[in-house]
Protein backbone atom coordinates (compact mmCIF):
# COMPACT_ATOMS: atom_id res chain seq x y z
CA UNK A 1 0.00 0.00 0.00
CA UNK A 2 1.45 3.40 -0.93
CA UNK A 3 2.71 5.58 1.93
CA UNK A 4 0.62 8.66 2.53
CA UNK A 5 3.13 11.45 3.03
CA UNK A 6 2.28 14.09 5.58
CA UNK A 7 5.44 16.17 5.42
CA UNK A 8 7.32 18.11 2.77
CA UNK A 9 10.86 19.35 3.45
CA UNK A 10 12.27 21.85 0.96
CA UNK A 11 15.73 23.27 0.43
CA UNK A 12 15.88 27.05 0.01
CA UNK A 13 18.48 28.20 -2.53
CA UNK A 14 17.87 26.64 -5.93
CA UNK A 15 14.63 24.86 -4.92
CA UNK A 16 12.29 27.36 -3.28
CA UNK A 17 14.17 29.99 -5.25
CA UNK A 18 15.45 30.40 -8.76
CA UNK A 19 18.82 28.90 -9.64
CA UNK A 20 21.81 29.88 -7.53
CA UNK A 21 24.15 29.90 -10.52
CA UNK A 22 22.03 32.38 -12.43
CA UNK A 23 21.90 34.58 -9.36
CA UNK A 24 25.68 34.41 -8.98
CA UNK A 25 26.25 35.28 -12.61
CA UNK A 26 23.97 38.31 -12.26
CA UNK A 27 25.91 39.34 -9.15
CA UNK A 28 29.19 39.14 -11.05
CA UNK A 29 27.81 41.43 -13.74
CA UNK A 30 26.41 43.94 -11.27
CA UNK A 31 29.72 44.14 -9.37
CA UNK A 32 31.90 44.29 -12.50
CA UNK A 33 33.57 40.96 -11.72
CA UNK A 34 35.02 38.57 -14.28
CA UNK A 35 32.84 35.57 -15.21
CA UNK A 36 33.40 32.82 -12.65
CA UNK A 37 35.24 35.06 -10.20
CA UNK A 38 32.56 34.94 -7.51
CA UNK A 39 32.18 31.17 -7.78
CA UNK A 40 35.92 30.72 -7.49
CA UNK A 41 35.94 32.82 -4.32
CA UNK A 42 33.27 30.59 -2.77
CA UNK A 43 34.34 27.18 -4.01
CA UNK A 44 38.09 27.31 -4.71
CA UNK A 45 39.72 30.00 -2.60
CA UNK A 46 40.68 28.34 0.74
CA UNK A 47 39.67 31.39 2.78
CA UNK A 48 36.36 31.62 0.94
CA UNK A 49 35.59 27.93 1.40
CA UNK A 50 36.47 28.11 5.09
CA UNK A 51 34.39 31.18 5.88
CA UNK A 52 31.32 29.79 4.11
CA UNK A 53 31.63 26.48 5.97
CA UNK A 54 31.98 28.38 9.26
CA UNK A 55 28.97 30.60 8.48
CA UNK A 56 26.81 27.60 7.70
CA UNK A 57 27.30 26.10 11.18
CA UNK A 58 27.20 29.34 13.16
CA UNK A 59 30.95 29.61 13.77
CA UNK A 60 31.22 32.83 11.74
CA UNK A 61 28.82 35.71 11.29
CA UNK A 62 27.35 36.98 8.07
CA UNK A 63 29.44 40.12 8.53
CA UNK A 64 32.57 37.91 8.78
CA UNK A 65 31.55 36.38 5.45
CA UNK A 66 30.97 39.82 3.94
CA UNK A 67 34.43 40.95 5.02
CA UNK A 68 36.31 37.85 3.84
CA UNK A 69 34.53 37.43 0.49
CA UNK A 70 34.66 41.18 -0.15
CA UNK A 71 38.40 41.09 0.50
CA UNK A 72 38.96 38.17 -1.86
CA UNK A 73 36.99 39.89 -4.61
CA UNK A 74 38.31 43.37 -3.90
CA UNK A 75 34.84 44.89 -3.54
CA UNK A 76 32.96 46.78 -0.85
CA UNK A 77 31.91 44.30 1.88
CA UNK A 78 29.00 46.45 3.09
CA UNK A 79 25.77 44.41 2.89
CA UNK A 80 27.59 42.00 0.61
CA UNK A 81 25.36 38.98 1.27
CA UNK A 82 22.30 41.07 0.47
CA UNK A 83 23.88 42.24 -2.77
CA UNK A 84 25.05 38.73 -3.59
CA UNK A 85 21.49 37.36 -3.31
CA UNK A 86 19.72 40.32 -4.91
CA UNK A 87 18.83 38.35 -8.05
CA UNK A 88 17.51 35.31 -6.20
CA UNK A 89 13.72 35.11 -6.39
CA UNK A 90 11.02 32.69 -5.23
CA UNK A 91 10.47 29.86 -7.72
CA UNK A 92 6.74 30.16 -8.56
CA UNK A 93 6.12 26.49 -9.41
CA UNK A 94 7.68 25.14 -6.21
CA UNK A 95 6.15 27.81 -3.99
CA UNK A 96 2.74 27.01 -5.48
CA UNK A 97 3.10 23.31 -4.69
CA UNK A 98 4.19 24.17 -1.15
CA UNK A 99 1.06 26.30 -0.72
CA UNK A 100 -1.19 23.56 -2.10
CA UNK A 101 0.46 20.99 0.14
CA UNK A 102 -0.04 23.25 3.14
CA UNK A 103 -3.70 23.77 2.23
CA UNK A 104 -4.11 19.98 2.03
CA UNK A 105 -2.91 19.61 5.61
CA UNK A 106 0.65 18.56 4.80
CA UNK A 107 3.32 19.92 7.11
CA UNK A 108 5.81 21.99 5.08
CA UNK A 109 9.31 22.75 6.36
CA UNK A 110 12.40 24.45 5.02
CA UNK A 111 15.81 22.86 5.55
CA UNK A 112 18.71 25.08 4.49
CA UNK A 113 22.45 25.36 4.88
CA UNK A 114 22.40 28.90 6.16
CA UNK A 115 23.35 32.16 4.47
CA UNK A 116 23.12 33.82 7.88
CA UNK A 117 20.14 35.77 9.15
CA UNK A 118 21.78 38.90 10.63
CA UNK A 119 22.02 41.67 9.61
CA UNK A 120 20.32 40.46 6.41
CA UNK A 121 17.75 37.68 6.52
CA UNK A 122 17.40 36.36 2.95
CA UNK A 123 14.62 33.97 3.93
CA UNK A 124 12.38 36.70 5.30
CA UNK A 125 13.35 38.98 2.41
CA UNK A 126 12.16 36.41 -0.12
CA UNK A 127 8.97 35.65 1.83
CA UNK A 128 10.25 32.26 3.03
CA UNK A 129 10.35 32.56 6.80
CA UNK A 130 8.58 31.21 9.88
CA UNK A 131 5.17 32.47 8.84
CA UNK A 132 5.32 30.31 5.69
CA UNK A 133 6.49 27.02 7.23
CA UNK A 134 5.54 24.74 10.09
CA UNK A 135 9.26 24.47 10.81
CA UNK A 136 12.45 26.17 9.65
CA UNK A 137 15.65 24.18 10.14
CA UNK A 138 18.77 26.27 9.51
CA UNK A 139 22.26 24.81 9.77
CA UNK A 140 23.49 28.01 11.42
CA UNK A 141 21.08 27.51 14.32
CA UNK A 142 21.54 23.74 14.51
CA UNK A 143 25.34 23.82 14.43
CA UNK A 144 25.36 21.10 11.77
CA UNK A 145 24.87 21.22 8.02
CA UNK A 146 23.66 19.03 5.18
CA UNK A 147 24.58 16.30 4.40
CA UNK A 148 25.10 15.39 8.08
CA UNK A 149 22.42 12.85 9.05
CA UNK A 150 21.72 14.76 12.27
CA UNK A 151 20.11 17.70 10.51
CA UNK A 152 17.58 15.48 8.74
CA UNK A 153 16.70 13.85 12.05
CA UNK A 154 16.11 17.30 13.50
CA UNK A 155 13.84 18.17 10.59
CA UNK A 156 11.75 15.09 11.27
CA UNK A 157 11.63 15.91 14.97
CA UNK A 158 10.51 19.46 14.18
CA UNK A 159 7.67 18.09 12.05
CA UNK A 160 6.77 15.32 14.49
CA UNK A 161 6.94 12.78 11.66
CA UNK A 162 8.91 9.69 10.69
CA UNK A 163 10.99 9.41 7.53
CA UNK A 164 8.58 7.40 5.36
CA UNK A 165 5.94 10.03 6.01
CA UNK A 166 7.98 12.80 4.36
CA UNK A 167 9.40 13.94 1.03
CA UNK A 168 12.56 16.03 0.72
CA UNK A 169 13.69 18.15 -2.23
CA UNK A 170 17.24 19.41 -2.78
CA UNK A 171 19.23 20.57 -5.80
CA UNK A 172 22.47 18.92 -4.63
CA UNK A 173 22.48 15.16 -5.14
CA UNK A 174 24.97 14.61 -2.32
CA UNK A 175 22.38 15.89 0.17
CA UNK A 176 19.87 13.15 -0.65
CA UNK A 177 21.36 9.81 0.56
CA UNK A 178 21.32 10.65 4.30
CA UNK A 179 17.63 11.51 4.01
CA UNK A 180 16.96 8.28 2.11
CA UNK A 181 18.63 6.32 4.91
CA UNK A 182 15.94 7.67 7.24
CA UNK A 183 13.22 6.48 4.87
CA UNK A 184 12.47 9.93 3.46
CA UNK A 185 11.38 9.98 -0.18
CA UNK A 186 13.87 12.26 -1.94
CA UNK A 187 13.52 14.33 -5.09
CA UNK A 188 16.56 15.74 -6.88
CA UNK A 189 15.60 19.12 -8.30
CA UNK A 190 17.71 20.04 -11.31
CA UNK A 191 16.79 22.90 -13.64
CA UNK A 192 13.13 22.17 -14.37
CA UNK A 193 10.75 23.41 -11.66
CA UNK A 194 7.74 22.25 -13.66
CA UNK A 195 9.01 18.65 -13.58
CA UNK A 196 9.82 18.83 -9.87
CA UNK A 197 6.42 20.31 -9.12
CA UNK A 198 4.74 17.47 -11.03
CA UNK A 199 6.66 14.87 -9.00
CA UNK A 200 5.63 16.54 -5.76
CA UNK A 201 2.03 16.72 -6.88
CA UNK A 202 2.05 12.95 -7.46
CA UNK A 203 3.78 12.22 -4.16
CA UNK A 204 1.76 14.51 -1.95
CA UNK A 205 -1.52 15.52 -3.52
CA UNK A 206 -2.74 12.57 -5.61
CA UNK A 207 -5.31 10.39 -3.83
CA UNK A 208 -2.95 7.39 -4.00
CA UNK A 209 0.61 8.83 -4.02
CA UNK A 210 3.52 6.73 -5.24
Kindly state the average pLDDT of the residues 46-56.
98
* R_g over Cα of the chain: 17
pLDDT digits (tens, 9 = 90+) for 137-189: 999 999 999 999 999 999 999 999 999 999 999 999 999 999 999 999 999 99
Q: Are 86 and 30 in contact (CB under 8 A)?
A: yes
| Structure confidence at residue 210 (pLDDT) | 47
- Answer whether residue 208 shows pLDDT above 80: no
pLDDT-wise least confident of 18-22, 127-131, 172-176, 206-210:
206-210
**DSSP structure string for 54-74:** HHHTTSS-HHHHHHHHHHHHT
Q: How confident is the model at residue 5 (pLDDT cuts 50, 70, 90)?
A: confident
Q: Pseudo-torsion of CA 26, 27, 29, 32, nearest 10°? A: 180
H/E stretch holding 23 reads: helix 20-31
Q: What is the mean pLDDT of residues 105-130?
A: 97
Quote the pTM value. Answer: 0.94
Compute the mean pLDDT over every residue in the chain, rounded to the nearest whole number.
95
Quickly count: other Cβ atoms within 10 Å of residue 166's Cβ.
28
Amino acid sequence: MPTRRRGLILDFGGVLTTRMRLNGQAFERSEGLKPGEYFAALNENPEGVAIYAALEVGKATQEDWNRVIGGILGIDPTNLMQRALANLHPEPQIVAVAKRARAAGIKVAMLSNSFGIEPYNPYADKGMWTDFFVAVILSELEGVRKPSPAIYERALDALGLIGPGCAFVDDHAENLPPAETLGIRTVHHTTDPVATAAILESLLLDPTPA
